Structure 1
Amino acid sequence: MKPTIRDVAEYAGVSVATVSRYLNKSPLIADRSIKKVEKAIRELAYMPSMIARGLQKGKTNTVALAVDFNNAETYGNDFFLRIQYGLERELSSQDYFLLIAHIGKGENAVTRLEEIIKEGRIDGLIILSELVTETIRTLLDESGLPYVVTGRMTDDVVWVDVDNCAAGYRATERLLATGIKDVGFLTNSFDKKFVAERFAGYKQALNDVGLSLENQFVIDQLSSREEIASYLIEHRDRLCEGYVVSDSTIAFYLMRFMESEGIRVPMDTQIIAFDNNTLSEALDITVIDIDVMRLGMESGRLLLEQFEEKTCDQQTLLPVRIIERKTVKLQRLTP
């Protein structure tokens, strides 16, 4: 099998970023690392890709945000729009323009990304973690194009994400601080990585106070008011003292059900959700604020640092905060 840039990095005992800097003749690489990389390239008979050799060096002052518009939720998604706004705000401060690049998923995404890189239309790329496959990672590493992943990744990839595990922990901790012990978790799916991370934080918060997950009320695959209402009616005898809810839309459906059943929030049951948006504001829902605009800005900042060949943080987790409103009781005073 033809060796890749990652094979060279592993053989040389350096990062992929270091090999990429060597291939792009960056001055920010130590002589010792240069010798290691050159030795690895010789002994592995590594040949840089045609894309990397053909990559234009002229500045375009354009950065692409790779998205999948085959997913109908993307364009109407408040999360995406705020990331885009944060990115444009950061990039424009250095006179860069943002290009929205629809790449799709699977093989089409690889082909489309190859075309964009070969055409030399962009200086760098921001890509959502859900679109990053092993093939796309190899393509980007081989090309030498600076890129940042928005969303948690592994290995030596520059990525930035919200600390979703901490978000789940703090949401659960806030409910427990009111003196309750019966805390449910509601989501429409565990398929998304950030939901799984928030659930992990929820479990950890329960564990830290000696509560077992087996005794809690966990619901997934519920996406409509009707589904939530039907499920809760069926399990009426299992009403929780509090709920951690994965997003404001589900919290809205939950609150409407509670209202129809004469269940008072927060007197009879409490609700905390994620993300501060117009819906959570209108309903006065206590939320964990996920600063998505800052996520976009930080992604842009890390990419700009790569353009300037500065050493940037490889992995960045952004903190979260609680916005107190009217769906969670005051914390109990500890003696």
Structure 2
Amino acid sequence: MSSAESSEFRPTLADVARAAGVSTATASRVLNGFPRVSPQRRRQVESAMLALGYARQRAARGSAAGRTGSIALVVCEEVLRMFTDPYFPRIAAGVGKELAAVDLQLVLLTVPSTENYQAPVQRYLEGGHVDGALVVGMHGRRPLDLDWLGIPVVFGGRPVHEGTPGGLSYVDVDNRGGARLATQRLIDSGRQTVATIAGPQDMTAGVDRLHGYRQAVLRAGRPDPGLVVFGDFGQASGEHAMARLLDRRPDVDAVFAASDMMAVGALRALRRAGRQVPGDVAVIGFDDLPISRWTDPPLTTVRQPVEEMGARMTGELLALIDGSVPRRCTVLDTELVLRKSD
């Protein structure tokens, strides 16, 4: 190899892994200082980094001249759901606004629920195309090892698996407190049979909102497993869950739905069953989506600052890229917005 060719050679993490005889994930764990690597493999990776000049290249890439100018937004949902659920466009709006202010590009990556879902996304992120990644929509049944890719990562919402050595950076909202506040509102208004349409339990938002509901009903001395049904945060699932709940417990007079879209579905099911809202059944949602202002009646809901969440995630990621802050966790407040459905 000529000296000119040598000066143009920029080793990737995959090059280091091949030279060391280990996986790319192991090489990345060594690079990021994670402890779950044997001393022998750590020495192999460090020797390969030194021989290839990888450590110097990574340091150069941390400078403004070595950056790609792009940030990845990784959405762990099916493409159709990503464009029909208002949550994801609102997150993207908050991210895009922050990146526009610093003249950076946003790259959108989707992670479908296929058997080999991780490989294409991880190959792209390992390839040096972006300076960092924002990850939203994580499902516990589909863990994605983005934290071991050698680039900074910030999660939208607390990941189900938080046990990664070194910790994870995330921005979340107070899902438990918001759900507790909504359920308490229904109890305090005199409703006797307060149910919930809970979200998916492989996502921390679904888990935490169900926990908040259970805290409130337990405090009121009214725990009843028969009043809990489940949906997937979508409108159709809320409609089906409400129908099941009415069949199971026709005496229900209040429902906390863990998303506005499920609440909209619940309103449809109640209207079809001839139940008046809020006269017969009170309904409170979670999100404060624009549609909540236009339902009949307008929906009382828990507001979560989704655009702010996207902006804060982006700010945290940019700070990690610059090396100006350690990994940290941020939880944003929620608030109850009173309208006419309760």
TM-score of the aligned structures, taking structure 1 as reference length: 0.75
In 1: Cα distance, 2:268 partner to 2:116 partner? 42
- The runs of 5 or more residues in structure 1 that have no matched partner are 9-15, 21-36, 329-335
Q: Does 1:272 align with 2:284?
A: yes
Q: CA separation of 1:60/1:167 partners in 2, compared to 1, >3 Å: closer, same or farther?
A: same
Partner of 1:244: 256
2:78–2:111 Cα contact (<8 Å) kept: no
- 1:227 matched to 2:233: no
Instruction: Flag the 1:132–1:6 CA change in 2: closer, same or farther, 3 A.
Output: farther
Give the percent of matched residue pairs that are identical in Structure 1 and Structure 2. 23
Report matched runs for 1:1-335 at 5 Å: 4=26, 19=33, 45=43, 47=45, 57=61, 58-68=66-76, 70-104=78-112, 108-128=116-136, 130=138, 136-137=144-145, 140-141=147-148, 143-153=149-159, 154-155=162-163, 156-187=167-198, 189-214=200-225, 217-221=227-231, 223=236, 227-228=240-241, 230-231=243-244, 234-235=247-248, 238-283=250-295, 284-312=298-326, 314-328=328-342
Q: How many residues align?
A: 298
Letter in 2 for 1:74: M
Task: State the alpha-carbon separation in 1 of the partners of residues 228 and 118 from structure 2.
Answer: 37
SS in 2 for 1:88: helix
Amino acid aligned to 1:186: I
CA contact (8 A) 1:65 1:99 kept: yes
Structure 2 CA distance for partners of 1:305 and 1:111, relative to 1, 3 Å: same
Q: For the Cα contact (< 8 Å) 2:75–2:137, is it kept in 1?
A: no
How far residue 252 of structure 1 moved from its aligned partner, in angstroms, is 2.4
Equivalent residue letter for 2:86: D
Q: Structure 1, residues 236-275: CA drift from partner, whole Å, max 9, x if none?
A: x632221101222332233234344443322332110111
Length-normalised TM-score, structure 2: 0.74
> d(CA) in 2 for partners of 1:239 and 1:172?
17
Supply the distance in 1 between the matched residues of 2:186 and 2:239 (Cα, whole angstroms): 26
Residues in 2 aligned to 1:112 and 1:60: alpha-carbon distance in whole angstroms: 19
Post-superposition CA distance 1:300-326 (Å, at most 9, x none) = 010011122112451111111111100
Distance apart, 1:280 and its partner CA: 1.1
Contact kept, 8 Å, 1:63 with 1:97, in 2: the verdict is yes
Gaps of 5+ in 2: 1-20
Of residues 185-194 and 83-92 in structure 1, the stretch that sits farther from structure 2 once superposed is 185-194
Change (3 A) 1:107 1:98: same
Q: What value does the CA root-mean-square deviation take over the aligned residues? A: 3.5
Contact 2:260–2:292 under 8 Å retained in 1: yes
